[in-house]
Structure 1
Amino acid sequence: MVVRNISKKRKHLVTLILLSVCGSTFYFLLTRLGLLMPLSELPSVLCLNSCSPERPVHPVVRGKQLLNNGRSLRELLGNNIDSKKVSILIEKSKYKLTLFYNFKPIKSYPVVFGSNPNGDKLYEGDQKTPEGLYHIRDLYSHPDWSKFIWLDYPTPHSWREHFQAKLGGTVNLFLPIGGQVGIHGVPSGGDDLIENRSNWTWGCISLKNHDVNEIYPTEFSLFRAENELQIVLQVLKRLAERAVR
């Protein structure tokens, strides 16, 4: 009798272990497919930590003109730069990226977006540029677009909007959220894409190669500091921008 009880307990234990392994593997696969967030982000997505709405970081930059377009960042900022004070504002309706230092606008650049620029990004393949607050995840050279500044999309806020769209029936349940969104240049000789405001990307922000090379960290250490990947980037919604113009 005792032997049978021990045998049953072992079977139950083995069953629990197998279920745990299968469940973990299934969750991992769904995460890799972009259908679920990593477990580390689950508390933030479910607002178990805090879930305050995103607030504007930058003051509104009046006008459509590009700020200090004919001057270099080295000339404007010098050589001693504290990367903790660097942030970026992108205004969709103005096709403009403005670099801030200590929350003061320093220089603006013309940019374009995904080929379906209106509205926030909700899933992979919608060709929209995500809106909200992001940080820089990584930076590297790109063989086709000069440089790539990789953003931390999707954030917990992105996941919440993604799931709300699925629950509301506007996004198919089996569509992934997407990723690999960043700031990059254009194909060689493609500056006219920026000059003509041709939204050509799959959701990234695109600058002229000369411009992306200037803000990308080289010997001029704009981002190369202790907290180099904590650069705040804010992408404004088109409708909100029209309201303040």
Structure 2
Amino acid sequence: MQLSRVTVSMMLLCTVGLFSFSGHNYRSIRYNRLNAELNGTPRILVDKSDYELSIFDDEGWYATYPVVFGEKTLGDKMWEGDRKTPEGDYKIVAKRPHKQWGQIMLIDYPTPTDKAKYNERKAKGLIPKNKGIGNGIGIHGTWQRDDMAVDYFQNWTNGCVSLKRSEMEELYEMIPVGTRVSIRK
């Protein structure tokens, strides 16, 4: 059977989870083991450069979700209110429903490592004297009926990681408190 170039191109684009419609890019969830249960301890890797949140377990890669962040330069969080998503190693410390975003999973930002980075940057004059380190960073859904923000790469949060609401519901059910989260650029 011979496939047309268009069919092959669509298959390749769908394999990497990115396809185009009317000049806009849309991303979708990619599964390594669709409908399989997580095996062992889950871990989350957030890749800011690729706008992805991936889940790993004892068998390796499980799934990857498209995400968006805060400030569009994707730099490391410097101070409270800069809208940047922090980079480092964290863990989920709380999970709860959220009025605007469906659910939220809070991470333990700022960690001692974040505090050390903050103090070093402040000593170098990179952070204004009146700015604090901030807190309240989490992983959450989008505003109701606003999933297109993820499809269009619209960084809208104040430093959190945001998924589509239905995808956040799925993630929320499978990820326990205590899960390790690594956020990288």
TM-score tier (shorter): 0.7 to 0.9
**Residue aligning to 1:236:** 184
Q: Secondary structure at the match of 1:163?
A: helix
Q: Structure 1 length normalisation: TM-score?
A: 0.61
Q: What is the correspondence of 1:107-118 to structure 2 with a 5 Å cutoff? A: 107-118=63-74
Higher helix proportion: 1
In 2, distance between residues paired with 1:93 and 1:214? 23
From 87, 106, 114, give the equivalent of 2:43: 87
What is the aligned-residue RMSD (CA, Å)? Answer: 2.3
Q: Structure 2 length normalisation: TM-score?
A: 0.80
In 2, distance between residues paired with 1:71 and 1:161? 35
**Residue aligning to 2:16:** 65
Q: Deviations over 1:110-136 (max 9, x none)?
A: 000002442210110111000110000
- Alignment check: 8 A CA contact 2:104 2:138 kept: yes
Amino acid at match of 1:135: K
CA displacement at 1:102 relative to structure 2: 1.5
**Residue aligning to 1:119:** 75
Q: Secondary structure at the match of 2:166?
A: helix
Residues 1:70 and 1:114: Cα distance change in structure 2 (over 3 Å): closer
From 56, 62, 75, give the equivalent of 2:35: 75
Residues 1:121 and 1:106: Cα distance change in structure 2 (over 3 Å): same
CA displacement at 1:91 relative to structure 2: 0.6
The answer to whether the aligner puts 1:175 opposite 2:136 as a matched pair is: no
Q: Secondary structure at the match of 2:35?
A: helix
- Alignment check: 8 A CA contact 2:17 2:30 kept: no
Q: Percent identity, please.
A: 33
- Alignment check: 8 A CA contact 2:70 2:157 kept: yes
From 172, 187, 190, give the equivalent of 2:143: 187
The answer to whether the aligner puts 1:104 opposite 2:68 as a matched pair is: no
Larger Rg belongs to: 1
Matched residue count: 162
